[in-house]
Chains A and B, each alone.
Chain A
């Protein structure tokens, strides 16, 4: 897939180019340029129209990673595995953090997988506009495409890392039920939130370079207020309502329920979905509010 993605989806391509060159000019302009602001729906229509470019961007990012490091895509597996090892040693063995009856390495890997997908999508997405200034000044495409491409590339990572998760579960003699089908849906929820937040942060990063210094700290705190390496059952009942205002908490808790057969926490899931939608919409609104003169910034 990394080698020849250009073979995919050929049939969507050849449409517009076949018409005879000297046919009458169209009645309506093909392109209307006006000073008005762009909207989300318009941009998504345009991203769809430019889906060839979108796929080539995704292909480029995947290929680049593969080329620039020796282990290439192997890091996608190794990184969460190494993190799991570290947390298993310190939290699982030394501190003996409980893990709701699930083997600690499996417990931690499942949480870290989801968290690392989310945090890396945001960290890389925040740079997605500032590192592509040359392209923004070179070709026309909706700017929103860049954070979206980033999230899609990270989705490929999380897919690969999920195969390792299943292998890990089997090695501990655990099985999967139909409930595991909810796992990719919850990952998609994280993807939506990561897309919205990183679009806003990427735009903010163009104005204030401080964002990239502050972000790692925020993400580190965010990780520890999420049930990545410990179960939310450690949180006292008085704090649970506040704890689950963090949308990641509801996702990880229910993601584990989907994988390991523990009961779903539906109220936490509902809160998480509502907050995800609100945060994503507010972020995208802020993106557009700040984006009036995006090409002018470079």
Chain B
């Protein structure tokens, strides 16, 4: 079967920019000119990464901080541009790269559901149709018309996640968002995501919660220093990761 997502030779170089004020820009000008325009240093966050994802698969990315996982998710979400290489995606994507990032503290729960739902890629009609379900899932019906700045952190997180799991794109991209809420809410989220997958959606997720990865993913990719170093069964790749970080011998 043809993959739904193809990543070929993807690389990303970050320039570490330095000057932030005009004064520095002027004082550094002579140096810049003599170095032929090179400014600061560069960092390869991703180096020549290639892999495919089939439809309906759940794929987890693991690796240490700075291994390139989040950069890869940003490129797949089109938030960052690659330096070289290409990605072809044969479906609509929806990315959740932070919990509650799109929330506005002065807005009510109801308003934030609309705001965040549309930001994630839903239409207003879709949000309206799913509004009851979202509010019920988050268990905040009583506080829908309260500004979210008065919410407890638990309520905040539940509402943010409720919006995200009711958005049903063909490819769902999640960055470190499963480690939220209490145990029972997390179970509820997993059940919802299993349901999304049964309907044929593809899921790509980054997490440091290896138990969740093992439980949910069909395949795991291990990143180290911007390189894709292993791609296979969750059990064996997670063991390689644990060896890498020195957790097991």
Determine the chain B residues whose CB is within 8 A of the CB of A140 once the complex forms.
77-79, 95
User: Given that A17-B126, A208-B20, A208-B22 are contacting pairs, would A137 and B79 also be in contact in the complex, using a CB cutoff of 8 Å?
Assistant: yes
Restricting to A39-84, which residues have a CB under 8 Å from any CB of B? 52-53, 56, 60, 63-64, 67-68
Contact of A33 among B75, B98, B114, B201 (CB under 8 A): B75
B74 touches A25 (CB 8 A): no
Produce 1/0 per residue, B5-48, CB < 8 A to A: 00000000011010111110100000000000000000000000
Q: Does B193 sit within 8 A of A, measured CB to CB?
A: no
Q: What is the distance, in angstroms, from B168's C-beta to the closest C-beta of chain A?
A: 8
Chain A hits for B4, CB < 8 A: 25
Q: Out of A35, A68, A208, A295, name the residue touching B79 (CB < 8 Å).
A: A295
Residue A224 interfacial (CB < 8 Å): no
A15: nearest chain-B partner, CB-CB? B123
Residue B51 interfacial (CB < 8 Å) = no
15 example contacts (A-B, Cβ-Cβ < 8 A) are as follows A13-B126, A21-B170, A29-B89, A31-B87, A33-B76, A52-B118, A135-B101, A135-B119, A138-B79, A138-B97, A138-B102, A140-B79, A210-B21, A292-B81, A296-B80
Q: In angstroms, how far is the closest chain B Cβ from the Cβ of A75?
A: 17
Contact for A136 among B19, B79, B88, B91, CB less than 8 A: B79
Among the 9-residue stretches B104-112, B184-192, B219-227, B241-249, the one with 4 or more Cβ atoms under 8 Å from chain A is B104-112
**Which residues 281-298 of A have a CB within 8 angstroms of B?**
292-293, 295-297
Judge if B128 is at the interface, Cβ distance under 8 Å.
Answer: yes
**Complex Cα distance A196/B44, Å?**
33
Contacts of B17 in A (CB 8 A): 207, 297
Complex CA gap A134/B104 in Å reads 11
New A-B pairs, 6, CB < 8 Å, besides A33-B75, A292-B81: A29-B88, A31-B88, A60-B104, A139-B77, A139-B95, A295-B81
Smallest Cβ distance from A127 to chain B, in angstroms? Answer: 16
Tell whether B86 is near chain A: CB-to-CB under 8 Å.
yes
A68 to B89: give the CA distance in the assembly, Å.
42
| Beta-carbon nearest neighbor of B108 in chain A | A67
Contact B81 A293 (CB under 8 A): yes
Task: Give the Cβ gap from B176 to chain A, nearest Cβ, in Å.
Answer: 13
Say whether A26 faces chain B, with CB atoms less than 8 Å apart: yes
B residues sitting closer than 8 Å to A (CB atoms) are 2, 4, 14-15, 17, 19-23, 25, 55, 74-93, 95, 97-98, 101-102, 104, 106-107, 111, 114-115, 118-121, 123-126, 128, 170, 199-201
Query: What chain B residues lie within 8 Å of A52 (beta carbons)?
Result: 118, 123-124
Residues of A within 8 Å of B106, CB to CB, are: 64, 67-68
What residues of A have a CB within 8 angstroms of the CB of B199 in the complex? Answer: 21
CB < 8 Å A-B pair total: 136
Q: Which 9 A-B pairs have the closest CB atoms?
A: A13-B123, A29-B88, A33-B87, A31-B89, A140-B78, A13-B125, A138-B101, A21-B200, A56-B118
Q: Which residues of A contact B126 (CB under 8 A)?
A: 13-14, 17
- Docked-complex contact B78 and A33, CB < 8 angstroms: yes
Cα A32 to Cα B87 with chains together (Å): 6
Q: Is A93 an interface residue (CB 8 A)?
A: no
Compute how far the CA of A52 lies from the CA of B120 in the bound complex, rounded to whole angstroms: 11
Complex-state Cα separation, A29 to B87, whole angstroms: 9
Q: Mark A223-264, 1 if CB is under 8 A from B, else 0.
A: 000000000000000000000000000000000000000000
- B89 to nearest A CB, angstroms? 4
CB contacts (< 8 Å) of A31 on chain B: these are: 78, 87-89, 93
Q: Closest A-chain residue to B201, C-beta based?
A: A21
Contacts of B79 in A (CB 8 A): 136-140, 295
- Determine how close the nearest CB of chain A comes to the CB of B199; give it in whole angstroms: 5
- Which of B93, B104, B119, B201: most chain A CB closer than 10 A? B119
Which residues in A have their C-beta under 8 angstroms from that of B119? 53, 56, 135, 138-139
